[in-house]
Each structure stands twice: as structure tokens, then as C-alpha cells.
Amino acid sequence: MLARGAGIVTCRQRPGTAKGTLFITLEDETGLTNVIVRPELIERQRRALLGARLLGVYGQISRQGQVVHLIAGRVVDHSAMLGLLDVHSRDFH
């Protein structure tokens, strides 16, 4: 199922056991979105993935039981829309 989402980047993780996959958590007024980014997309869109404070994601929904993920196919850095709002994510901890 195709989907899109956007939110403040609250966390980025790249576990050593994930074969280069990046996990991003987005937050908006409705809750959290778990985003999975495969290595091929990281290579193409590294700047947006690692630098955005407000990120738009286009991709596909993946359901595993009650856990829902958005598998990223394309991302867009919307950070300029935040203006001077001070936003920080917890990256790679």
C-alpha cells in the first residue's frame, strides 16, 4: 500500500546488525511514524536523510503484527518550513 507522511525527526538509528538500514522516527500532532530506509536510498538522498529536521517520506506501508512501518522510497527535506524553531533529534545512540 502506497503512503506518505511527514514529521519532525526525533530519532535516527543505524544498528550494526541492520546491514546498513537506517531507522528514523518522525513525530507530528497525531503520533509517531517509524520509517525504514534501505541503503540504496541512503546513498541517493544522504543529505536529506541525515540533515533534515522536518522530513517528508513517500513509500509503502509494511505491517508486522500490530507494528506498522513506512518503507521509504523517496524523502524530501522540509526543514525550511520550520523557520527558526529549534528542533533536535537523538541521532545514532
Is position 61 within any domain?
yes
Reported as a single tens digit per residue, the pLDDT across 23-82 is 999 999 999 999 999 999 999 999 999 999 999 999 999 999 999 999 999 999 999 988
Residue 93 domain flag: no
Is 92 part of any domain?
no
The CATH code of the domain that includes 56 is 2.40.50.140
Query: Does 49 map to a domain?
Result: yes
> Is the pLDDT higher at 17 or at 88?
17
Residue 87 lies in a domain: no
Give the DSSP letter string of the chain: -EEEEEEEEEEEE--GGGTT-EEEEEEETTEEEEEEE-HHHHHHHHHHHHH-SEEEEEEEEEEETTEEEEEEEEEEE-GGGGTT-----EE--
- Residue 83 in this model has a pLDDT that exceeds 80: no
Per-residue pLDDT at 92 exceeds 80: no
Q: Residue 21: what pLDDT? A: 96
Question: Which domain covers residue 42, as residue numbers?
Answer: 2-82
Count up the domains in the chain and report the number: 1
pTM to 2 decimal places: 0.85
